[in-house]
Homo-oligomer: A and B are copies of this chain.
């Protein structure tokens, strides 16, 4: 592929450059102020070095050589095979930038925004080549965290989505399709729901903030480092997730009711969909092997934390 253009040299932009360069692609990163280049280069080098356990065969120097600094979006996007926008969260600035980009980037280059806030409809609706525009929202920093939600606008072409999925996988990322645009997408709703509940516990004076954090860090987080929460409860009942929700669904209903949320929360259709999804990936016959693997992994994670002096 031709080089990847990255507009914005903050945490996300720099990290996208590492993701691309580590996978063998050339990256052109826009740094408007020439005097900032040395600091950005230093930060990128440190980040690449810290990340070597992920790709131990990759040579740091070669990664660094594949990253070029340029002064303007025009220089970055000229001849690019794919464009990542990672400027600040200002819808007008994004609209102006995408207008510039669509005039410069090759016609078959996809333009992807890293925004965490608003869909492409908000800043690309009136562009001529809007079918090649979508949102690819990572968690920071993407060179360490693979989950990336892919949010097409209603006008985004299916081909744009497919090519983005292929690229993300080639880069070692985990693309996750959000089927409809909506504010905040899906990833931030997950963290938001948990943090809201944590703040309620603090507001109610039930527990010290440090201890609330510990519930995740020294509790559920040890499981979730290897298993999603659905897969986690799937292992906590002999008959899997449907069995778990039959036994403990009342806890979720109570919680939803107390919060004024719509009930029932655990509808038959949700249970059926979760059951089907889990069983498609994990037959119940693998249950005990999966539990043993979970436990081995948690033990090794605890050892890692101890070795690094982190709890």
- A residues apposed to B, CB below 8 Å: 46-47, 50-54, 56, 139-141, 144-147, 149, 174, 176-180, 182-184, 186-203, 205-231, 233, 236, 251-252, 254-256, 259-261, 265-267, 269-270, 273-274, 277-278, 281, 292-293, 295-306, 308, 310-311
Given contacts A214-B228, A228-B217, contact A222 B144 (CB under 8 A): yes
B51:A299 contact, CB within 8 angstroms: yes
A230:B251 contact, CB within 8 angstroms: no
A255 contact from B193, B222, B229, B251, Cβ within 8 A: B193
Given contacts A189-B201, A297-B308, A297-B310, contact A229 B206 (CB under 8 A): no
- Complex: chain B residue closest to A310, CB-CB: B226
**A271, chain B: closest CB distance, angstroms:** 9
Closest 4 CB pairs of A and B: A213-B228, A147-B219, A193-B197, A260-B260
A190 contact from B50, B179, B216, B266, Cβ within 8 A: B216
Q: A292 contacts which chain B residues (CB < 8 A)?
A: 46, 50
A214 vs B223: C-alpha distance when bound (angstroms): 13
A269 vs B203: C-alpha distance when bound (angstroms): 8
A176 vs B250: C-alpha distance when bound (angstroms): 25
B191:A229 contact, CB within 8 angstroms: yes
B218:A299 contact, CB within 8 angstroms: no
A230 vs B215: C-alpha distance when bound (angstroms): 11
Instruction: State the number of copies, please.
Output: 2
Q: A215 contacts which chain B residues (CB < 8 A)?
A: 147, 149, 176, 186-187, 190, 228
A190:B53 contact, CB within 8 angstroms: no
Q: A222 contacts which chain B residues (CB < 8 A)?
A: 144-145, 225
A47 vs B169: C-alpha distance when bound (angstroms): 36
B183:A254 contact, CB within 8 angstroms: yes
Given contacts A220-B139, A296-B50, A302-B144, contact A179 B192 (CB under 8 A): no
Q: A269 contacts which chain B residues (CB < 8 A)?
A: 203
Q: A210 contacts which chain B residues (CB < 8 A)?
A: 228, 277, 281
A219:B303 contact, CB within 8 angstroms: no
B54:A299 contact, CB within 8 angstroms: yes
B193:A206 contact, CB within 8 angstroms: no
A145 vs B260: C-alpha distance when bound (angstroms): 32
A170 vs B295: C-alpha distance when bound (angstroms): 22
A194 vs B189: C-alpha distance when bound (angstroms): 9
B207:A217 contact, CB within 8 angstroms: no
**A101, chain B: closest CB distance, angstroms:** 26
20 further interface pairs, Cβ-Cβ under 8 Å (given A186-B215, A209-B278): A54-B302, A54-B303, A147-B218, A176-B207, A177-B211, A179-B207, A186-B207, A190-B194, A190-B212, A190-B215, A193-B193, A196-B256, A209-B274, A210-B281, A213-B227, A213-B228, A213-B230, A217-B225, A226-B310, A293-B310
